[in-house]
Chains A and B, each alone.
Chain A
Amino acid sequence: MPELTVVFTIVLTLGAYLLFRFLYMRYRHPLLNIVLLGAASIITVLIVCKIPYQAYVPGKNIMTSLLGPATVGLAVPLYRHRSILRGYAPAILIGVAVGVFTSMASAAIIALLAGLPKEVVLSLVPKGVTIPFAVEIARIHGGSPALASAFVIATGTLGSVFGGTLLTLTGIKDPVARGLAMGTGAHGQGTAMAFIEGQQQGSMAGLAMTLAGIMTASFAPILIPFLI
């Protein structure tokens, strides 16, 4: 009964999302990552019930059909904050460009020096940007979307747990600078932490997150052949 499996996988995924979203909303701890815990519990159920990954794919395709339109919606917060964008244009554009270049180049260079396979290196390059952009950038350049999503979550968790402390220790106190660093370095997870610090940091991080995605996608075709 393949139809039943499709319904089961969708209900399972929705249930995992609602459960971990509830826990995250309640405790607001960056280690309570909805995507990581949700996927881990689904994988556990699939293994225990002996359901192969291939049986999850039809349900996955139905569930992710709105991911594209949702991502396009990121233009809305960008447009709402256009006055901030204009007011801080040099700081935002240069800061995010520096961060995007650092993130891509340092990840690729370390991974290549460590001798990681090419497919893994290419999945690591967009690790600093939000998942919908990262998976597409990885796919276009020959990486794996799933690995890219895992590296994005690892980066976001690391950045949201230690990023604020790192900025304080290195003397970065300016709220605009802190917000941009959190959004560029740790995408949505960093943005959530930036909003806990303050409204200005949060708005800056949100802008930086979307711009970092656009810039990473635009730099990748030039930078990747040069590095790898």
Chain B
Amino acid sequence: MSNKIRLISQIALLAAIYWGSNRLVIFTGIPIPGNVVGVLLLFGLLCFGVIKLEYIQDAADFLLKHLVFFFIPVAVDLMNWGPVFYKYGFELALAIVISTFLTFFLTGYATQLLQRGKNRCRN
């Protein structure tokens, strides 16, 4: 039972950070999602030792393990978007395939170049 209470209070702490981040976004009007600000805020709080890993890690691990669950209801909305895929399917596939392959190649290439430079300095 105490495990459950701990999990729920840890989820409440994560929810409070998320809520605070959304308030911050609304207050400042910055065009960045509240959940992105929330990740940066929690990372900062952990680095400065304001929040200890033990305060939130059970809830974070539990929720992240099942993160995919939350995406399913979001994707059900696709039933309203059938005509877009019917009409632009080929163009969409083209954009996604070319862009994804380019991203893989350029990220890998740039990093490998930097890694080689680093290894050369070391040798």
Contact = CB atoms under 8 A, between A and B. Distances in A.
A70 B64 contact: yes
A174 B115 contact: yes
B36 A213 contact: yes
B39 A17 contact: no
A136 B33 contact: yes
Contact of B46 (A36, A79, A210): A79
A218 B32 contact: yes
Interface residues of A, number: 103
A47 B79 contact: yes
A79 B64 contact: no
Interface of A: 13-14, 16-17, 21, 34-36, 38-39, 42-43, 46-47, 53, 56, 59-60, 63-64, 66-80, 82, 90-92, 94-96, 98-99, 102-103, 106-107, 110-111, 114-116, 120, 124, 127-128, 131-133, 135-137, 140-141, 144-147, 149-151, 153-155, 158-159, 162-163, 166-167, 170, 172-174, 176-178, 180-182, 184-186, 188, 208, 210, 213-214, 217-218, 220-221
B68 to A, nearest CB: 5
Contacts of B26: none
A180 B107 contact: yes
A137 B68 contact: no
20 contacts: A38-B75, A70-B60, A71-B18, A72-B42, A75-B41, A75-B42, A102-B99, A102-B106, A116-B92, A124-B95, A124-B96, A128-B100, A149-B77, A150-B75, A153-B75, A170-B109, A174-B108, A177-B109, A181-B111, A188-B67
Contact of B74 (A107, A135, A163, A214): A135
Q: Chain B interface mostly helix, strand, loop or mixed?
A: helix
B101 interface: yes
Contacts of A107: 95-96, 99
B22 to A, nearest CB: 8
Given A137-B33, A144-B81, A147-B78, 17 more contacts: A14-B69, A17-B69, A43-B79, A53-B80, A72-B42, A75-B41, A75-B43, A76-B60, A90-B114, A99-B103, A106-B99, A124-B96, A133-B36, A150-B75, A154-B92, A181-B105, A218-B32
